[in-house]
Each structure stands twice: as structure tokens, then as C-alpha cells.
Amino acid sequence: MQDDLEEVRRDVIGRLSQAANDRKSAMHTPVFATADADTRILVLRAFDDEQWTLRFHTDSRSPKVSVIESDPAVSVLFYDREEKVQIRCRGVARIERSSVAADTAWQQSDNYARRCYLGSGPSVLSDEPTSGLPEWIEGEKPTDEQLAPARENFAVLLVEIIEADWYHLAHDGHRRALVKPGGEAHWLTP
């Protein structure tokens, strides 16, 4: 049980860093909520522990992108079932299509990951079950040349965290705290 707010801050930073770097981490695939009350799972790609920024990758044509561009308020929910820890990160999101961050993320993605951006964008109605990919690339690893047109559909989604609402469920007393990037922190009743 944590009884020290600095320990809670370290716990939040440690868990978000692990979530980004360890694919097996329980917090690697948080629930991402947008201002239109919709939610979805996204893979956490990076956490910058100095700027308190989360990085995700997405299709620039996806519905969440236009929602974020009209209202950037978001919440990202992380949960570790085994350790009974929940972290709710409230923040402000932005989409970057052609920044250094977007170019770097694209360059660092492998060709199977980049392939997702070759087909139709998410949420297009279809008369039959579909992966959305063009038929010629199903089951194949595309070449860099074949992937060139996919780049414009790729974007990074960055979330500047305003506050992290941390909750630990424990038999000897639940604990909850609000931790902010600048150093402010408060206990809350669970």
C-alpha cells in the first residue's frame, strides 16, 4: 500500500513506461476515450516521462481523428487486473500527419505494421467480411515501394497528460491519488 505521494508519482511513471515498452504489459493496450463518448483499444507506442506525453499510431482517416480535431479532450484508461491498479490519464490530444514525430514513427514501423495503412480507412461499410486491404497484398509483406501510398494515411496521435488519476484496490485500504505533471499531487477518497 502506498502512503507517499512521490511513491505514487513514481508508480505512475514506471507503469506508463513499462506499458509502452513491454508488449506483454497489462497496460500496453489501454482504452482510449474521445469527447464524443466513444471508446476503443489502442496500442501505447511511447511514453515521454519528461513531457508526460503518450504516443499512439492511427489511420488519419479514422473517425476518432476528426472527433479529436474538433474537441481534443481525451481520457486514456490503463488497468492492471493482477495488480489491481487503474490509471485514468486525462489530457489533450493532437494528430500529427507530417511532423518529425510522424516521419520517425513511420520509419521505425515494420512493413507488416505499415501494411494496415494501404487499404480502406476504418469504419467503411462493406457488403462482406473484409480486412480492408487490397487483395494483392493479403498475406504478403509489402515492399517499401508498394508502401509509399500508405504513408499519407498514417498519423501519430499524441496525448499531453493533464492529470493521472491513480487507484489501487487493496484489502488493507484502497488508495487513490491525483498526480499532475508539474509536481502537484493530492490524495482522493477512493
Instruction: Give the residues lining the site for ligand FMN (CB under 6 A).
Output: 29, 38, 40-43, 56-59, 62-64, 122-123
What is the spatial distance between Cα 185 and Cα 163, in angstroms, rounded to a whole number? 9
Q: Which is nearer to ligand FMN, 8 or 20 (CB)?
A: 20
Which of 58/75 has CB closer to ligand FMN? 58
Q: Considering the complex, what minimum distance in angstroms separates the CB of residue 30 from ligand FMN?
A: 10
Measured from the CB atom, the residue of 157 and 164 that comes closer to ligand FMN is 157
- What does DSSP say about strands 85-96 and 154-168: parallel, antiparallel, or unpaired? antiparallel
Neighbour-count burial for 145-164, b at 16+ CB within 10 Å, e otherwise: ebbeebbebbbbbbbbbebb
DSSP state of 65: H
Q: How far is the CB of 116 from ligand FMN (least distance, A)?
A: 8
Work out the number of other CB atoms within 10 angstroms of the CB of residue 7.
11
Number of helices followed by number of strands (H, E) in the chain: 5, 9
What is the closest distance, in whole angstroms, from the C-beta atom of residue 155 to ligand FMN in the complex? 9
Q: Min. distance of Cβ 74 from ligand FMN in angstroms?
A: 12
Question: Measured from the CB atom, is 32 or 52 closer to ligand FMN?
Answer: 32
